[in-house]
Amino acid sequence: MNGKNKLLWFFLFVSAFVFFPRVSFAMHISEGILPLKWALFWFVLAVPFLYLGLVRLRRLTESSSQAIPMVGLVGSAVFIISCMPIPIPVAGSCSHPVGSGLAAIIIGPSLSVVVSSIALLLQALFLAHGGLSTLGANIFSMGVAGSFVAYGVFWLMVRVGFGWMAAAFMAGLLSDWATYAVTSLELSSALHGGSGAFGPMFVSILLAFAPTQVPLGILEGVLCAMAYAFVRARRFDLLGVFEKGGAT
Amino acid sequence: MTFELFSDIFTFRDNALRRLDPRVKVVVGLVAIFAVVSSQGVLFPALVFSLALMGMLLVGLPVAFMLGRFLAPLGTVLILFLLHAVLYGWTPLFSLPLFGQRVVIMQEGVLRGMHLACRVLGGFGIMVLLSSVTPSHQIFHALAYFKAPKGWLEVAMMMYRYIFVILESAADAMAAQRVRLGYCGLKRSLNSLGVLSGVVIVKSLEQAQRTHEAMLARGYKGHTPFGPMPALSPKDGWTLGLSLGVLIGLYLATEGWVFG
């Protein structure tokens, strides 16, 4: 591939993403995109985090039978929030928040992985967003990366002394961008097709998502901060059930 | 609010695939999907897609619904096809003029792009067919039979059930916001969406409390018992064996033919 070709495919790729607004759903890796070995690799990486979440859920259930309905219902709420269309001013289209950042700061990152895995399975099966063979990759990018980054940032900022509103904003923003970066990594590592092409593929996918994901991350941060502020102001007492049962 | 249609609304239609045991459908569906993603040629995924398409037409899925389902993956496939065609390969096939430059289309990239497209279509076809002939509760029941973690299943069933309850509250709140011009301009839209998200979470937490009390009153002890699944009927057993046989036969024939 010569230099002119590189420039042109890059232009082609970026414009294609910008001009196909449906691809703003592309944080879900579609069924069939990943070859078998990469699909299994991301499943293997996601499983320990899912296990951690299930252990946490069991501990919570042992201390209160209210835990299952609470986690399930918050999961439904986050599923619905993640389907809400957000207008993206730069791309001229609507996209959807990831939601795992908000879930992580409300119910904790490991439970957020459990909820994300279920939401992703339901979305794959009944809404055709994502896929079954790509479920592991999607759980890792949205559930694991999104939740742990959000919770880590939130916890750190509150500890350092930032207000919880700023912390919730950064949690939403960085969880979205972490999901976006990990999805790009997953796609480029599986599809680069040979030596030397990983770098250009990764950069081109990052840049291709950028017109949607950079503003979407900022908007998700705002949404996350406002939703958290609302819950905190109205019924923060109800979140007490998630404090029981030990570690994250 | 652009909440989309859940495919399992079609599962309430009676047809031969709907009547099959859910364990058979889940096993055959997963084997087909993993065979498609492990394939190295275009023929096997294309055949699987054709079979899935025939299945979808036979059970009477509306064409508009199928097109809607395939639109998003087809967009992704088109872009990845273009990317592969110009980025990957070493044998020039032809070149196209674009903004005063020439884009060289590579033969290997086109083949790779076609393979990817067929894989996506094959996998998606199976997934849409599976979810259109198997109600969610049967999928959960089959997963319980295959020893999926109890806690995960419990939360999954709770989530699935309450998505529709909370969706109604969210839709009502959003309609009220719209009437008050809550979605005029980006700033107001964002403000309204933030409040709506908060409302949805608070409502879900309050609903969880009520649900928990109702469940306790009905003897809930931390998990919902699943009834035992009946043994596979001879018809289901034959269907399972035949489907797996056809899939394995097609896989061996096409993959061997491609590389043989």
Take residue B100 and report the two structure tokens written for it: 């005063």
Dump pLDDT digits (tens) for A137-171: 999 999 999 999 999 999 999 999 999 899 999 99
Residues pairing with B81 in the sheet: none
Of A124-138, A153-167, B102-116, where does mean pLDDT reach its minimum? B102-116
Range from B20-29, B89-98, B222-231 that averages highest in pLDDT:
B20-29
Q: Mean pLDDT throughout A204-222?
A: 84
> ipTM surpassing 0.85, yes or no?
yes
Q: Mean pLDDT throughout A189-207?
A: 76
Burial A99-114 (b: 16+ CB within 10 A, else e): bbbbbbbbbbbbbbbb
Contact B205 A69 (CB under 8 A): no
Question: Which residues 6+ apart lie within 8 Å of B208 measured at CB?
Answer: A66, A69, A70, A72, A73, A74, A238
- Residue A25 has what pLDDT? 47
**What is the identity of the amino acid at A95?**
S
**Do A216 and A97 meet the contact criterion of CB atoms below 8 Å apart?**
yes
**What is the identity of the amino acid at B13?**
R
Q: Residue B7: is its pLDDT beyond 60?
A: yes
Question: A86: part of which helix (H) or strand (E)?
Answer: strand A86-88
- Residue A246 has what pLDDT? 40
| B257 vs A232, residue with greater confidence | A232
- B260 — pLDDT class (breaks 50, 70, 90): very low
Q: Residue B204: is its pLDDT beyond 80?
A: yes
Q: Which of residues 160-199 of A touch B (CB under 8 A)?
A: 191, 193-194, 197
Alpha carbons B68 and B130: distance in angstroms, whole number:
16
Q: Mean pLDDT throughout B223-249?
A: 90
In order, the DSSP letters of A120-180 are HHHHHHHH--S-STTHHHHIIIIIIIHHHHHHHHHHHHHHHT--HHHHHHHHHHHHHHHHH
Candidate from B33, B127, B152 with C-beta closest to A114: B152
Nearest 10 degrees: CA dihedral of B18, B20, B26, B31?
A: -110
Alpha carbons A171 and B180: distance in angstroms, whole number:
30
The mean predicted confidence, pLDDT, of chain A is 83
CB atoms within 10 A of CB B217: 8
Alpha carbons A111 and A21: distance in angstroms, whole number:
32
Q: Which of residues 91-150 of A touch B (CB under 8 A)?
A: 94, 102, 106, 114-115, 117-119, 121-122, 124-129, 131-133
Alpha carbons A120 and A130: distance in angstroms, whole number:
7
**Rounded to 5°, angle at Cα B49 from B44 and B52:** 125
Which ranges constitute the DSSP H helices of chain A? 3-19, 36-63, 67-81, 100-107, 109-127, 135-138, 146-160, 164-191, 198-235
Take residue B59 and report the two structure tokens written for it: 């059970």
The half-sphere exposure of B138 on its side-chain side, counting CA atoms within 13 A, is 19
- B1 — pLDDT class (breaks 50, 70, 90): very low
| B255 vs B76, residue with greater confidence | B255
Q: Mean pLDDT throughout B221-233?
A: 83
Q: Residue A241: is its pLDDT beyond 70?
A: no
Name the nearest CA neighbour of A177 among A189, A166, A185. A185
- A94 — pLDDT class (breaks 50, 70, 90): low
Could you say which DSSP state residue A29 is in? P
- B146 — pLDDT class (breaks 50, 70, 90): very high
Shortest distance, CA A161 to any CA of chain B (angstroms): 24
- A23 — pLDDT class (breaks 50, 70, 90): very low
**Do A128 and B72 meet the contact criterion of CB atoms below 8 Å apart?**
yes
- Residue A62 has what pLDDT? 86
Please give the share of chain B, as a percent, with pLDDT higher than 90: 38
**What is the identity of the amino acid at A94?**
C
Q: Residue A245: is its pLDDT beyond 50?
A: no
CATH of domain A31-243: 1.10.1760.20
Cα distances from A151 to residues A56, A115, A227, B137, B156, in angstroms, run: 15, 15, 15, 32, 23
Contact A66 B104 (CB under 8 A): no
- B66 — pLDDT class (breaks 50, 70, 90): confident
Q: Residue B206: is its pLDDT beyond 80?
A: yes
Q: Which of residues 225-254 of B touch A (CB under 8 A)?
A: none
| A237 vs B177, residue with greater confidence | B177
Q: Locate the domains of chain B by residue range.
A: 1-147+231-260, 149-229
Please give the share of chain A, as a percent, with pLDDT higher than 70: 81
Candidate from B106, B116, B127 with C-beta closest to A132: B127
**Do A176 and A103 meet the contact criterion of CB atoms below 8 Å apart?**
no
Nearest 10 degrees: CA dihedral of B58, B60, B64, B66?
A: -50
Based on the number of CB atoms within 10 Å of its own CB, is B232 exposed (0-12), middle (13-18) or buried (19 or more)? middle
For B19-73, the three-class secondary structure string (H helix, E strand, C coil) is: HCCHHHHHHHHHHHHHHHHHCCCCHHHHHHHHHHHHHHHHCCCCHHHHHHHHHHH
In order, the DSSP letters of chain B are --PPPPGGGGGGS--HHHHS-HHHHHHHHHHHHHHHHH--SSHHHHHHHHHHHHHHHHTT--HHHHHHHHHHHHHHHHHHHHHHHHHS-SSEEEEEEETTEEEEEEHHHHHHHHHHHHHHHHHHHHHHHHHHHS-HHHHHHHHHHTT--HHHHHHHHHHHHHHHHHHHHHHHHHHHHHHTTTTSSHHHHHHHHHHHHHHHHHHHHHHHHHHHHHHHHTT--SSPPPPPPPPPPHHHHHHHHHHHHHHHHHHHHHHHHHH-
Mutation for B interface: A111, A125, A207, most B CBs within 10 A: A125
Q: Mean pLDDT throughout B49-68?
A: 90
